Chain A
Amino acid sequence: MIETKFDYNGEISWCPGCGDFKILEALKLALSELALEPNEVVVVSGIGQAAKMPHYLRCHCVNGLHGRALPLATGVKASNPNLTVIAVGGDGDMYGEGGNHFLHAIRRNPNITNIVCNNMIYGLTKGQGSPTTPIGTHTSTQPGGVVNRPLNPLLLALSCGATFVARGSAADVDRTKELLKQAISHKGYALVDILQPCVSFNKTHSWQWLATAAKWIEGEGRDEGDISVAMSRALESDPFPLGIIYRAEPGKTFEETQAPYRSGDTTPLFARLPRYEAIERLIG
C-alpha cells in the first residue's frame, strides 16, 4: 500500500475483508494526490461501520450522530469555507436515517463531497435490511425477505438537482480514487455512491458479485452533462454502471449565497467579531 500523509496508525475495527478498507484507501490516495494538507481536511460522519472512517484517517475527525453527517458537514463548511469537507457514511446512515437531509443537502448545494459506502445492508447493527437492500433479501429482521422497494440514490440525487453524481466500486481502488478526486474538486455538492461488499452480513453482494454486477461506463465523459442520459444510466442495474453518471455546472454553493461570504471574503466565522455599529443602529 502506498503511504500517504493521511495514514492513521491505530487499530481498525472493521472485519477482515470488508470493502470499507478499499474505500478508505481510495480516499487517502485521492486526498494525497490532490495535495491537500491533513489539517485542511475535515471528514464528517454519522454512525455505522462506514461512518467510522474519519477515525481511520489522519486529519480532523468529526463523528456525529446516525444520519446527521450532512447537516453537520454543512455547518462546518459554512463556518469555515476554506476547509475541505467530506461527509461519509453507509447506505442506512445517509439514505435511511438521514434521508431527509440527503434530499435537502443536495438542494442546498454546500461545497462538500458525500461518500456513501453502499453495502446494501446495515452492517454495524448486524445485518438488517437497508434502504438499498433488494426485495426478497432475507435478514434477521426481515426473515421472510425484504418487501419494501429499494431506493435509487443516483436517480434521487439527480432529481434533486445534484451536479455531480457518480458510482464507484470497492473492487477498483484506482478508478474509485479518480472519481473521488473529481468529486472533491467539484465546486458544489458531489455524491459518490460506492458499492461495497459486507463480508459478514451480506452474502448476496459479495466480492464475486461485485466483479460481474457492475461495469465502468465506456467512453467516460462523453455525455456526462446530459441529464436524460444520466437518468437512464441511473436506472440501469444489470450491470450497475460505474463512473461519473452526471456532471454539470454547479451554480452558486450554499456558502457563496450567505451574507458573510457573498463578497468573496472567505474569512472563517471564528475570526469575525460582532458588528457593533449595526447593532447600535438596530437598537434605534
Chain B
Amino acid sequence: MSEAKRTETVITFSAAAGLGLQTAEDLAGKILSGAGFYVFSTREYMSRVRGGNNSSQFRVSTSPVRAQVDRIDWLFALSPGLHVNVTENISKSTRIVGDTTALAAEIAALGFEMVDIDLIERAKKIGGAVYASMIVAGFITGIFGFSETSADDYIAVRFGSKPEVVEKNGIAFREGHRLGLETVGGEPVLQKNTASKKSFVFMDGDTALGLAAAAAGCNYITAYPMSPGTGVFSFFARNADALDAVVEQAEDEISAINMALGASYAGARAMTTTSGGGFVLMTEGISLAGITETPVVIHLAQRPGPATGLATRTEQADLEIALHAGHGEFPRAIFAPINVESTFTVAGRAFETAWKYQTPSVILTDQYLLDTGYDVKRPVPASIRPPVVPAEAPEGYARYRFPEDGKWISPFAVPGHGPGFVSFDSHEHTEDAHITENREIRRKMVEKRLAKEHAMREEAMPHILIGPEDHHTLLVCWGSTFEPLREALAILSPDGVALAACEQLNPLPESFVRLMAKESAKIFVEGNATAQFARLVRAQTGATATDTILKYDGYPFTVDELVERVGRILEKFAKGAK
C-alpha cells in the first residue's frame, strides 16, 4: 500500500442527488489532468432525482489508470446516510472532509474522525451552501500543491456574466485551497508527474461511443429514454447541428428501431440506443433488419434486470438476449467494448460490419463503462472507416440479388438514386423484394443470409491476450470487467496465468476458438449470475469453464475485490495440483 500511495491518490465524493459536487469533480479533474496526472473517474447513483446518496471515485495517478479500486484516501461527504459501498472502504488512513455538523456523529459511530473544517458552514458564510463544491475544488488543488489561481480562468468562463458570483467562487476556491494546503502541512499528496502526458484527453464511455458513431458517419439516431442508454443519445442531441444528424426521441423503442431501419433503407447511417427493457421491445425490428438485410447499429447499454431491475446500476446480463433477440435465423454481430479506448474502436467496427454485411450490429456496454472516464490517447476519427456513398440503382436493380461467386452480399442501393427500384420486404422474398413462398427461393435466401456470418467470423476482431501464450490457467472475460481484472492480475502476477478478453462476442473470432481448444483451466469472470459468456463459448467452441467469478449486486468489479477472488481460486488450483 505505501508504494501505491506514492504514485496515486484516491478521492471519493458522496452527496445526495441534486446537491452534488459536480463542479468540484469537473474542476478538480481538469486541473489534475491538466497538470499531467492520469485521472480516472467513475460514478454510481441511485434511481432518484433528489436525496439519497450518490458517489463518485477519482483515482489520480502518475501512470495510466483505468479501473475502480476500493481504497479511499480522501472522502468528501456532504450528506448524511453514507452508503455501505462507501463506508466499507473507509480506513484509518482515509481523510474525511465535509459537512461536519451533519455527519460527525455518523462518522464517529463508524469509529473515524472528520478533518476539522465544516464545509457547509464555511460555504454559507461565503454566500450559500452551493459554494461548498468550489471550496472542495480549492481544497483538492491545495492538497496537490497547485496554485490558488488554478481555477481563475474556469470561474471566469463559467460565471463570467455575473461578477458577484465570479468573486464569491474565487473566494470559495481560495479558502478551500488554503485549508487543503494546511491539512497536508504544505506537503503535496503526490509528486507531480515528470513524464509528459501530451496528446491525452479525458473521455468517458458515452462520449467515446458518440464520437465513434459520428466518425463512422452516423447521421440518424433514435431512442426512447432509458438509463443508461440515453447518454449517447443526449450527446447527439447536443451536437446535432455540428454532426449534421437527425435526432429523434421516438414514442417507444419499437418506433425507434423501425425509424432507424426506414432511415437506413433510404441511405442514412442509423443507430438506436436503449437498455434491456427497450431492447426487448426492439426484437421484432431486429428480426426485420435480418430478413430485409438492412444495416443498423443498436446500442444496448446494460443495467441489471429482470424487468426494471436496478435502473441506474450496472451488470453484464444481457449478452444472451443480444444473441437471441429476434425470431428466425439471421446473422448478427455483437460487440462489447472493454474500456473507453475500445469503445471508440469497437463502435467504429460495429458500423463497418453492419454496413458491410447489411445486417444488425449490437454494441453491448454497461452503466459502469459509460459513466467511467479517464485520460486516453487522443482517438483518431480517421481510423474509423468512413461510410461508402451508395452507387446508383441501375435499371432492373434487385435489392436481394443472389451474390456473385465469392461475394457475400447483394449490391446496396438506395431509393431515388438512379433509375432502379429499391425495395424492402419483411416476408420471404424474391430477388426483387416481392413476396414469395417458392421453396427453392426460400432455401437459397436463408442460405444467402446465413452465409454472411461465415465471412463475419473470418473478419471478427481477434481476442486480446495478456500474459503468456503458454499458460496453465486462463482468466476469460468480456466488456468492462477487463480493466479491473487486468489490474488485479498485474498485482497478483502469478506464473503461467493469462487473461483473455473478447471485444467481439458474435461471431467469435477464429483466434479465440483456437485459444479455447488449448488445454488450460478456464476461469470466466463476468458481471452476471449465470456466466452467460461461458455458456456462449461452450456453445460455439465446446470449451467449458473450470470455474467462475461472478458478480450481480449492481456494482462493478473493483481491482481489490478481484485480487482477492482471483487469488483465492488460484490458491485452490495450486493446492489441487499438488
Q: Does B239 contact A (CB under 8 A)?
A: yes
- In the assembled complex, the CB of A150 is this many whole angstroms from the nearest CB of chain B, namely 23
Docked complex Cα distance between A193 and B418 (Å): 33
| Residues of chain B with a CB closer than 8 A to A271's CB | 267, 389
Q: Does A39 contact B (CB under 8 A)?
A: yes
Name the residue of chain B whose CB is nearest to the CB of A82: B416
Known: A64-B424, A68-B258. A78 touches B251 (CB 8 A): no
- Assess whether A58 is in contact with B421, with CB atoms less than 8 Å apart: yes
Q: Does B420 contact A (CB under 8 A)?
A: yes
Known: A55-B434, A78-B246, A259-B246. A274 touches B255 (CB 8 A): no
Known: A38-B421, A75-B263. A273 touches B387 (CB 8 A): yes
Docked complex Cα distance between A270 and B422 (Å): 14
- Assess whether B215 is in contact with A276, with CB atoms less than 8 Å apart: yes
Docked complex Cα distance between A123 and B163 (Å): 71
| Residues of chain A with a CB closer than 8 A to B288's CB | 64-65, 68
Known: A71-B259, A80-B267, A83-B416. A61 touches B425 (CB 8 A): yes
| Neighbour of A39 across the interface among B252, B258, B284, B421, CB < 8 A | B421
- Assess whether A68 is in contact with B265, with CB atoms less than 8 Å apart: no
| Residues of chain B with a CB closer than 8 A to A77's CB | 262
- Assess whether B269 is in contact with A39, with CB atoms less than 8 Å apart: no
- Assess whether A72 is in contact with B258, with CB atoms less than 8 Å apart: yes
Q: Does B17 contact A (CB under 8 A)?
A: no
Q: Does A27 contact B (CB under 8 A)?
A: no
Q: Does B378 contact A (CB under 8 A)?
A: yes
Q: Does B467 contact A (CB under 8 A)?
A: no
Docked complex Cα distance between A219 and B11 (Å): 77
Known: A101-B255, A278-B243, A280-B381. A65 touches B284 (CB 8 A): yes
Which of B214, B266, B382, B387 has the most CB atoms of chain A within a 10 A radius of its CB? B266
Q: Does B247 contact A (CB under 8 A)?
A: yes
Chain B residues within 8 Å of chain A by Cβ, number: 70
Q: Does A62 contact B (CB under 8 A)?
A: yes
Name the residue of chain B whose CB is nearest to the CB of A277: B242
- Assess whether A283 is in contact with B262, with CB atoms less than 8 Å apart: no
Interface mask (A258-284 → B, CB under 8 Å = 1, otherwise 0): 111010000011111111101111111
- Assess whether B416 is in contact with A268, with CB atoms less than 8 Å apart: yes
| Residues of chain A with a CB closer than 8 A to B134's CB | none
Q: Does B216 contact A (CB under 8 A)?
A: yes
Docked complex Cα distance between A71 and B433 (Å): 20
- In the assembled complex, the CB of B412 is this many whole angstroms from the nearest CB of chain A, namely 10
| Neighbour of A65 across the interface among B239, B258, B418, B421, CB < 8 A | B258
- Assess whether B421 is in contact with A78, with CB atoms less than 8 Å apart: no
- Assess whether B424 is in contact with A61, with CB atoms less than 8 Å apart: yes
| Residues of chain A with a CB closer than 8 A to B264's CB | 75, 79
Docked complex Cα distance between A267 and B494 (Å): 59
| Neighbour of B250 across the interface among A42, A71, A260, A284, CB < 8 A | A71
Known: A72-B259, A259-B247. A274 touches B421 (CB 8 A): no
Q: Does A10 contact B (CB under 8 A)?
A: yes
Known: A61-B433, A64-B261. A80 touches B415 (CB 8 A): yes
Interface mask (B243-283 → A, CB under 8 Å = 1, otherwise 0): 11111101110111011111111111110000000000000
- In the assembled complex, the CB of B281 is this many whole angstroms from the nearest CB of chain A, namely 11
- Assess whether A269 is in contact with B246, with CB atoms less than 8 Å apart: yes
- In the assembled complex, the CB of A48 is this many whole angstroms from the nearest CB of chain B, namely 12
- Assess whether B435 is in contact with A52, with CB atoms less than 8 Å apart: yes
Q: Does B426 contact A (CB under 8 A)?
A: yes
Q: Does A214 contact B (CB under 8 A)?
A: no
Interface mask (A47-71 → B, CB under 8 Å = 1, otherwise 0): 1000010110011111111001011
Q: Does B156 contact A (CB under 8 A)?
A: no
Known: A62-B423, A65-B426, A104-B255. A270 touches B267 (CB 8 A): yes
| Neighbour of A269 across the interface among B211, B214, B263, B422, CB < 8 A | B263
- In the assembled complex, the CB of A144 is this many whole angstroms from the nearest CB of chain B, namely 31
Interface mask (A233-276 → B, CB under 8 Å = 1, otherwise 0): 00000000000000000000010001110100000111111111
- Assess whether B240 is in contact with A259, with CB atoms less than 8 Å apart: yes
| Neighbour of A273 across the interface among B254, B386, B435, CB < 8 A | B386
24 contacts between A and B (CB under 8 A): A39-B416, A44-B262, A60-B415, A62-B265, A64-B261, A68-B258, A72-B259, A74-B262, A75-B266, A76-B265, A79-B220, A79-B265, A80-B267, A108-B248, A259-B243, A269-B220, A269-B263, A269-B268, A270-B414, A273-B217, A273-B387, A274-B214, A274-B386, A279-B381
> Interface residues, chain B, CB within 8 Å of chain A?
201-203, 207, 211, 214-217, 219-220, 222, 239-248, 250-252, 254-256, 258-270, 284-285, 288, 292, 378-379, 381-382, 386-387, 389-390, 414-427, 433-435
Question: What 4 A-B pairs are tightest by C-beta distance, nearest first?
Answer: A270-B267, A75-B262, A79-B266, A104-B251
**Additional pairs, 6, CB under 8 Å, beyond known A61-B433, A275-B243:** A61-B423, A63-B425, A64-B424, A268-B414, A275-B242, A281-B242
